[in-house]
Structure 1
Amino acid sequence: MKIIITDAASKWFHDDMGVTAGNGVRFFGKTYGKTAVHSGFSIGLMRDDEPHKPIATTEKDGVNYYVNDRDEWFFKGYDLTVDFDAENDGPKYEYLPNQE
């Protein structure tokens, strides 16, 4: 699994979440909601500077973005691109099939 953070998304994380170099953001699956690839589940995110058994990580502008092993079920078979959605003033997610 790959995580891709666009420049616009990185700016949103810095400006709206207040992350700075050395901080971390964890993506996870949560019940309720809907994504393009899951019904009944949605993606969550939280500031978390201490990854626990990450299965995917990427660094952008000094911030570490990752998914832990306990959320592998949600992302299995997909790469995640995080971009900024100006209409909703927040992140938007694209799930791209991979060869896992």
Structure 2
Amino acid sequence: MNIYVSERAQKWFTDEMDVQPGDYIRFYVRYGGSSPLHEAFSLGIAKEEPIDASVETIINEVIYYIESKDEWFFDGHHLFVQYNEALDEPEYEYKK
């Protein structure tokens, strides 16, 4: 499993969450909403350091990661973080 973050999504994190080199961005499972993978569960994001990261990718010195306890959600899919211009927020694609 890998995490991919588009350049435009990276800019959103920088602009909206004041992400700087050395910061961590966590993708976590939350109850509520829905996703193509699971009804009633969706992804949340937080700017926080990992406890037990199982997957991470470093882009421009920013660490994007998923904790081990949330890995079940992805069911073997890679996470692609894009930017939705109409909603002005990140959007997620899951690909095997």
Normalising by the residue count of structure 2, what TM-score does the alignment of the two structures yield?
A: 0.95
Task: Quote the Cα distance in structure 1 between the aligned partners of 2:47 and 2:82.
Answer: 17
- Measured against aligned partners, the alpha-carbon deviations of 1:42-84 in whole angstroms (never above 9, x if no partner) come to 1111001x21221110011211000001111112311000011
The answer to whether structure 1 residue 26 and structure 2 residue 21 are counterparts is no
Partner Cα separation in structure 2 for residue 61 and residue 36 of structure 1: 29
Counterparts of residues 41-56 of structure 1 (less than 5 Å): 41-48=41-48, 50-56=49-55
Aligned 8 A contact 2:37 2:73 in 1: no
1:37 counterpart SS class: coil
Distance in structure 2 (CA, Å) of the matches to 1:30 and 1:16: 20
Partner of 2:73: 74
Q: How many residues of Structure 1 are paired with residues of Structure 2 in the alignment?
A: 96
> SS at 1:51's partner residue?
coil
Contiguous gaps of at least 5 residues in structure 2: none
Write the distance in 1 (CA, Å) between the matches of 2:75 and 2:66. Answer: 11
- TM-score, scaled relative to structure 1: 0.92
Is the Cα–Cα contact under 8 Å of residues 27 and 65 in structure 1 kept in the other structure?
Answer: yes
The list of structure 1 runs, each at least 4 consecutive aligned residues, that deviate by more than 4 angstroms after superposition, is none
Structure 1 gaps of 5+ residues are: none
Pairwise CA RMSD of aligned residues? Answer: 0.8
Question: What letter is aligned with 2:44?
Answer: G
Question: Which secondary structure does the structure 2 equivalent of 1:92 belong to?
Answer: strand
Instruction: Decide whether the 8 Å contact of 2:22 with 2:61 is kept in 1.
Output: yes
> 1-side partners of 2:72 and 2:35: how far apart?
14
